[in-house]
Amino acid sequence: MSEQPDKHVLLRVENLKVYFGSARQPVRAVDGVSFDLHAGESLGLVGESGCGKTTTGRAVMRLVTPTEGRILFEGEDIAHRSTRALAAYRKQVQMIFQDPYGSLNARMTVGAAIEEVLTVHRLGKRNERAQRARELFESVGLDPAYMDRYPHEFSGGQRQRIGIARALAVNPRVVIADEPVSALDVSVQVQILNLIRDLQTRLHLSFLFVAHDLAVVRYVCDRILVMYQGRIVEQGEPDQLFTDPQHPYTQKLLAAVPDVEKGLNAITKA
Amino acid sequence: MSALVSVEDLRVYFGDPAKPVRAVDGVSFSIHRGETVALVGESGCGKSVTSMALARLVPQPPGVYAGGRVLLNGRDVLTMKERELRALRGNEVSYIFQDPGASLNPVFRIGYQIAEAMRLHRRDVHFREETRELLRLVGMTDPDRAARAYPHELSGGMQQRAMIAMALACRPKLLVADEPTTALDVTIQAQILELLVSLQKQLGMAILLITHNLGLVAGVAHRVHVMYAGQMVEAGLTEDVLRRPKHPYTRGLLNAVPRLTGSRERLTGIEGVVPNPARLPTGCRFHPRCPYARDICVSREPEAESAAAQHEVRCHVWREVEGAP
């Protein structure tokens, strides 16, 4: 969480639409979403399942091709660029996934998995890559002694750290994190969230943080977008959004979240 | 108030008997009629295995009931005959699980599945009438349509309602709810919780809630038991445990949960990870992660002791923890 994100717009999403299925009766997963991501900012995208938050994140990463709209990175529209032409963009924008079990190749040592990214993007000389991988491994709080091991030998939290190291390998400016802690235990969740906060400050990264957990998003984000049925229904800074939600959906969402303080107060009153 | 369930020094082990994995290792607690008790802990702490032991549902092998008693209305579930167990399961004790989609049989209609327990235990009722009544009870607006539906035709929230209807078919005295809302969206989660609380009031059943979510515990449980590495580390009234935690683990857990209000300052949480149950640390099982640990914690296993009225803790240094800011 950086204190003062400068207002330089790194990524601008304009009227993004992603439709699935038949053209006659499309499923409007994302239906006209626009937002700016500033340099060094951590932007939260929250909502319930099916609201389009994950599809929005995947569209920005260009894992799905938008039906309509523009995605401007440093002013250049990448919304409909060919896969080949996206390589440079993907050096700038990286992604972390929810499931640290499914997102690592089970048959590749974790060291090799990190090095692979460097090879694909032709970063550094061959003999320098191993050293760079070690540094990355250390930067996410893991002991490089374990780089020769396979993913199954690591816990969920450690695997998520490896996923983060992999995303950071190309020195990206934007990281899209899709539910990065929802598969983790409570005590491990906060470790990963703290790592994300530290990396953001240290590397001046911008985050698009996609999650369903409002408290988690509040903890890591400078600004939050609330999505519902493919659209952004409300946005604001955490303190304003959480104390004075304007849209009925945000209000409903906030009221529904189980919270220790809220729960205890209810008991005391009952 | 006599206890409906009384678990005494329960031990459930897995694997090689010479070197067993002690998944549940000397757990004791009770549940009174009509009350909600929460078992809280992280993955692998033994909370689900404990809950399954209440109806002797842990498969043997690989599981072994290595000691203790599970008294339900004074009768020990662990020594019952199969016939007695069948009479108990789905009747006096029933379960709902995290993923309703995986617990429902995809090839039978909802109504048929709800009536299944009645066919076994309640020959006296009119199945169709009773099924309709149950579906209405769990808040289905069109009970007849829901009864005719196949599981895949219902949303996750509706599937969980159907599961609850099924669990309630024989008016159990104890409902075990293992992470009942974890797979659901928050707004649906809130509806299901509200439903469980209101059903409990109407039917007077006891609920054992298994969860890792302290926010959820705070809202619905009368009492809470915190588990770590197969043992109960703290137990008491919900408000006492969550407002005045004595065990460093409970404190750490509370400190690891981002909140909706108040400060957004860095949370400290808990260092390290849950130990592998096959290689438990010596002494106190939490000591490698505990900021208060000292020599005795490494060498000697702490006993559960009373820290206040109705408040137990298993820690050598809880007095110090309690005084810490």
**Residue-wise pLDDT tens digits, B259-273:** 888 888 889 888 888
Q: Which residue has the higher pLDDT, B43 or A235?
A: A235
Please state, for a pLDDT cut of 70, what percent of chain A lies above it: 96
Q: Is B19 exposed, middle or buried (0-12, 13-18, 19+ CB in 10 A)?
A: exposed
Nearest CB to B261 within list A187, A197, A242: A242
| Nearest Cα residue to A138 out of A195, A98, A188, A177 | A195
Looking at residue B263, its pLDDT comes to 85
> How many other β-carbons are positioned within 10 Å of the β-carbon of residue A122?
8
The answer, yes or no, to whether residue B252 has pLDDT greater than 70, is yes
Would you say A8 and A205 are in contact if contact means Cβ atoms under 8 Å apart?
A: no
Nearest CB to B186 within list A188, A256, A261: A256
Alpha helices in chain A (DSSP H): 53-61, 87-92, 110-120, 126-139, 156-168, 186-203, 214-220, 238-243, 248-256, 260-269
Tell me the CA end-to-end span of chain B in Å, nearest whole number. Answer: 37
Mutating which of A184, A219, A259, A269 best tests the B interface, going by the most B Cβ atoms within 10 A? A259
Residues of A with CB under 8 A from a CB of B: 1, 48-49, 155, 157-158, 185-191, 193-194, 197, 212-216, 218-219, 238, 242-243, 252-264, 266-268
The answer, yes or no, to whether residue B43 has pLDDT greater than 90, is no
Cβ-Cβ contacts under 8 Å for B153 (sequence gap 6 or more):
none
The answer, yes or no, to whether residue A184 has pLDDT greater than 90, is no
| Nearest Cα residue to B104 out of B92, B120, B116, B122 | B116
**A258–B259 CB contact, under 8 Å:** no
- pLDDT band at A225; cut points 50, 70, 90: very high
Q: What is the CA radius of gyration of chain B?
A: 21
Mutating which of A3, A260, A265 best tests the B interface, going by the most B Cβ atoms within 10 A? A260
The answer, yes or no, to whether residue A223 has pLDDT greater than 90, is yes
**A259–B261 CB contact, under 8 Å:** yes
Structure tokens at B290: 């505990």
Would you say B91 and B170 are in contact if contact means Cβ atoms under 8 Å apart?
A: yes
**A252–B257 CB contact, under 8 Å:** no
| Nearest Cα residue to B249 out of B265, B266, B225 | B225
Q: Which residue has the higher pLDDT, B153 or A269?
A: B153
Would you say B300 and B281 are in contact if contact means Cβ atoms under 8 Å apart?
A: no
Looking at the DSSP assignment, which residues form a beta bridge with residue B306? B312
Would you say A197 and A1 are in contact if contact means Cβ atoms under 8 Å apart?
A: yes
**B218–A267 CB contact, under 8 Å:** yes
**CA nearest B45 in A: which residue?**
A185
The mean per-residue pLDDT over the stretch B41-61 comes to 90
The answer, yes or no, to whether residue A270 has pLDDT greater than 80, is no
Cα B226 to Cα A194: distance, rounded to the nearest angstrom: 25
- pLDDT band at B296; cut points 50, 70, 90: very high
Would you say A229 and A31 are in contact if contact means Cβ atoms under 8 Å apart?
A: yes
The answer, yes or no, to whether residue A130 has pLDDT greater than 70, is yes
Angle between helices B127-137 and B156-168 (to 10 degrees): 130
Tell me which chain B residues have a C-beta less than 8 angstroms from the C-beta of A158: 273
Structure tokens at B257: 């949960």
- H helix or E strand, kind and range, residue B129: helix B127-137
Tell me which chain B residues have a C-beta less than 8 angstroms from the C-beta of A54: none
- H helix or E strand, kind and range, residue B305: strand B305-308
The mean per-residue pLDDT over the stretch B191-215 comes to 89
pLDDT, one tens digit per residue, over B75-123 is 999 999 999 999 888 889 999 988 888 889 999 999 999 998 888 888 8
Cα B170 to Cα B92: distance, rounded to the nearest angstrom: 7
Looking at residue B101, its pLDDT comes to 80
**A194–B219 CB contact, under 8 Å:** no
Tokens 């409002």, located at residue = A214
**B273–A218 CB contact, under 8 Å:** no
The answer, yes or no, to whether residue A6 has pLDDT greater than 80, is no
- Cα angle at B51 between B46 and B54, to 5 degrees? 130
Mean pLDDT of chain A: 90
According to DSSP, residue B89 is labeled B
Interface A:B, Cβ pairs < 8 A: 126
The answer, yes or no, to whether residue B325 has pLDDT greater than 70, is no
Cα B18 to Cα A147: distance, rounded to the nearest angstrom: 33
Looking at residue A4, its pLDDT comes to 52
Cβ-Cβ contacts under 8 Å for B201 (sequence gap 6 or more):
none
The answer, yes or no, to whether residue A3 has pLDDT greater than 70, is no
Please state, for a pLDDT cut of 70, what percent of chain B lies above it: 99
- H helix or E strand, kind and range, residue B319: helix B318-323
Mean pLDDT of chain B: 90
A243 vs A72, A237, A263, B214, B239, CA distance in Å?
Answer: 32, 10, 17, 22, 25
The answer, yes or no, to whether residue A178 has pLDDT greater than 60, is yes
Looking at residue A267, its pLDDT comes to 61
- Cα angle at A128 between A124 and A134, to 5 degrees? 115
Length of chain A: 270
Cα B226 to Cα B218: distance, rounded to the nearest angstrom: 13
The mean per-residue pLDDT over the stretch A86-95 comes to 93
Looking at residue B91, its pLDDT comes to 86
Q: What are phi and psi of B38, to 5 degrees?
A: -105, 140
Would you say A214 and A247 are in contact if contact means Cβ atoms under 8 Å apart?
A: no
Structure tokens at B136: 């209405």
The answer, yes or no, to whether residue B319 has pLDDT greater than 70, is yes
Looking at residue B98, its pLDDT comes to 83
pTM of the model: 0.85
Nearest CB to A259 within list B238, B259, B268: B259
Nearest CB to A256 within list B187, B242, B269: B187
Q: What are phi and psi of A175, to 5 degrees?
A: -120, 125
- pLDDT band at A187; cut points 50, 70, 90: confident
**A48–B42 CB contact, under 8 Å:** no
Cα A268 to Cα B222: distance, rounded to the nearest angstrom: 12
Structure tokens at B165: 């209807």
The answer, yes or no, to whether residue B189 has pLDDT greater than 90, is no
Nearest CB to A257 within list B243, B256, B260: B260
User: Cis omega (within 30 of 0) on the bond before B62?
Assistant: yes
The answer, yes or no, to whether residue A195 has pLDDT greater than 80, is yes
Looking at residue A268, its pLDDT comes to 54
Cα B107 to Cα A10: distance, rounded to the nearest angstrom: 51
pLDDT, one tens digit per residue, over B6-35 is 999 999 999 888 888 999 999 999 999 999
Q: Which residue has the higher pLDDT, A35 or B215?
A: A35
- pLDDT band at A66; cut points 50, 70, 90: very high
Would you say A226 and A250 are in contact if contact means Cβ atoms under 8 Å apart?
A: yes
